[in-house]
Structure 1
């Protein structure tokens, strides 16, 4: 269940004929992400399981269901691109929709499933797990 922005992102990736072009587009997406201030790059915001350094923060807006906004950053350009994909899919969405989003489907449709190293894939899923955990906690708190 992808949102409209994610569907557009998937469509944009489909415009590229080969992986090198998709890779360049992914890096470009990462360059457009705002940097996290140093003060927010804390041990609490750091995502464990990533080879690169990744920091992920969330802000829960009360509601039924609550809406969650995510901000993240990395010291790796390719990981910043992966973060951009995740922010498109998840940030600003209601918690129940975040939980229901099939990131594997999005990942496959973009073609990332075939072109990331196992270590980057593990880091990607560590970020997804953190996002899902945040959404689940927000849903529980709102009940």
Structure 2
């Protein structure tokens, strides 16, 4: 799924109840974590709902990142899937060049999330960039 696919889906949905349902459905698109990856070192700091995020080279194309994530609630899992759309299957350099603010603004997320969820979203995005920087450093070594 691309950012345009998500934006198009949001535009087709009449109200935020339908959009929240769509966000919840996106949770199924997350690449799942293995049980042993549900550890403190993979927790996203600053999220009120426990959220785990990892990033490794894609098996089929090691130059690209495969993000895997999970969260304690289905809504947060869906939000995580929504936030990963612009970054998934990109090179570390592409991830670091991506500014998702237009995507997020176009979806209207900031206006429809609580202050705690918006703060968690910022912490999550920072962790996405941290993992991309780590992957970039590993590729350079």
TM-score (norm 1): 0.85
Separation in structure 1 between the aligned mates of residue 134 and residue 33 of structure 2, nearest angstrom: 23
CA RMSD of aligned residues (A): 2.1
Contact 1:90 1:98 in 2 (8 A): yes
2:74 is the alignment partner of 1:84: no
Equivalent in the alignment of 1:122: 119
Contact 1:66 1:139 in 2 (8 A): no
Unmatched 5+ residue regions in structure 2?
Answer: none
TM-score (norm 2): 0.87
Aligned pairs for 1:71-110 (under 5 A) are 71-110=68-107
Task: Please state how far the C-alpha of 1:28 moved relative to its aligned partner.
Answer: 1.5
Contact 1:71 1:87 in 2 (8 A): no
Separation in structure 1 between the aligned mates of residue 64 and residue 21 of structure 2, nearest angstrom: 31
Which consecutive aligned stretches of 4+ in structure 1 deviate over 6 angstroms post-superposition?
none
Instruction: Tell me the secondary structure at the aligned position of residue 89 of structure 1.
Output: coil
Task: Please state how far the C-alpha of 1:132 moved relative to its aligned partner.
Answer: 0.6
2:54 is the alignment partner of 1:57: yes
